[in-house]
Amino acid sequence: MHNTIFFLILIIPATGFLVERYLDHLNSSMWSDTLPKKLKGVCDEQEYRRTQHYQRENDRLSLWSSAINLFVMLLVIVAGGFALADNLSRSISGNIIFISLIFFGIIGLASDVINIPFSAYDTFVIEKKYGFNTMTIRTFITDHIKSWFIALLIGIPVLGLIVWFYYMTGQYFWLYAWGVITLFSVFINLFYSELIVPLFNKQTPLPDGTLRREIEAFATKTGFKLKNIYVIDGSKRSTKANAYFSGFGPKKRIVLYDTLQNELTDEEIVAVLAHEIGHYKKKHILFTLILSVFLTGLMLFLFSLVVNNPSLSLALGAQTTSFHLGLIVFGILYSPLSLLIGLFSNYISRKNEFEADRFVRENFKPEILANALKKLSVKNLSNMMPHPAYVFFHYSHPPLLSRLEKLE
């Protein structure tokens, strides 16, 4: 049995890598030497060529990153690296919960070390070359340190509690784990902007003025109670513009990147925020949270059915069955189902985006949102003509031309 599992945990990641490369190939087949007719009026020849160059460089980096990560994973599996990490964890502590925490710490640190060079190249070479990066090396380093701090501060208690449930409650541990993760998800949704974002960025209330009054007027018109409108210093890291909505009830807030104010008119910003308000009014945020909770429960239930199978640990070269080794193998075996769930989630997300755009069309000015989307796509060098198969597999938002067609 464990030989079959060993074969699967080698072939599944390799197959996923090949599928990704084929999708990248399909995407690149959509590019042309001249500006496509569909993009006339959206961008010019020079901007179109620049977008293609940017996409090619990102694809090349993605290829190298994915290939090296796949090679390291397969090498670690074949050479018994996970079993070695398990033995090292057991040599450090005899506590079953600490063993799992140390094991995941080793794996997480190794993964970060492998991927930091790719992240640095993306930030300081590609993003800088195309005029996006404004991040300093110091900020890059402190961001990583802060991310690890958050992972330790939050990850250790949550993961430790889940492991404790596994060893203390037996086959029903997944119900307790599901409850903990659900509470954590709700907490993060409520307090993300208040507790996590300030560690990385400064948020200031949008000052009184024309923009704030226009936003509040639209919110009042659509019956949307809004007090918290903030501006975040996104220019600290990138020139790319964005905006987002977070929280529920009295904790809900709209956050504008300061770069957005440099790219769009006040009316276009209101249109972008009207889209975000549309998500809230259509209950997309609540539905997404409920769907996420349900899918987490499904994953935990399936994991509970196989976690005690010794073949999972044997497949990694270990002789002792453990929660953490079972989770590693299950994570790989679960990835095909995760892909299917991702396809469904992306379909729902794209559908929600169209609904939020329709909210703007019915309650504001669709042509203004269309102008804003064009400006942002060109500014951010987004791929405006992706292959339909790539969209199907990866896009949580519809492509620009599809959105413009619906708006117009």
Active centre residues (catalytic):
276, 357
Beta bridge partners of 232: 203, 257
Strand ranges for 184-287 from DSSP E: 203-205, 229-232, 243-246, 253-257
Could you give the CA distance from residue 38 to residue 47 in angstroms, rounded to a whole number? Answer: 14
| Tokens coding 402 | 């599809």
Hey, is 389 helix, strand or coil? Answer: helix
First to last CA, the chain: 57
| 51, 28 contact by CB (below 8 A) | no
Hey, is 225 helix, strand or coil? Answer: coil
Could you give the CA distance from residue 29 to residue 52 in angstroms, rounded to a whole number? Answer: 11
Residue with tokens 């935990």: 300
| 138, 120 contact by CB (below 8 A) | no
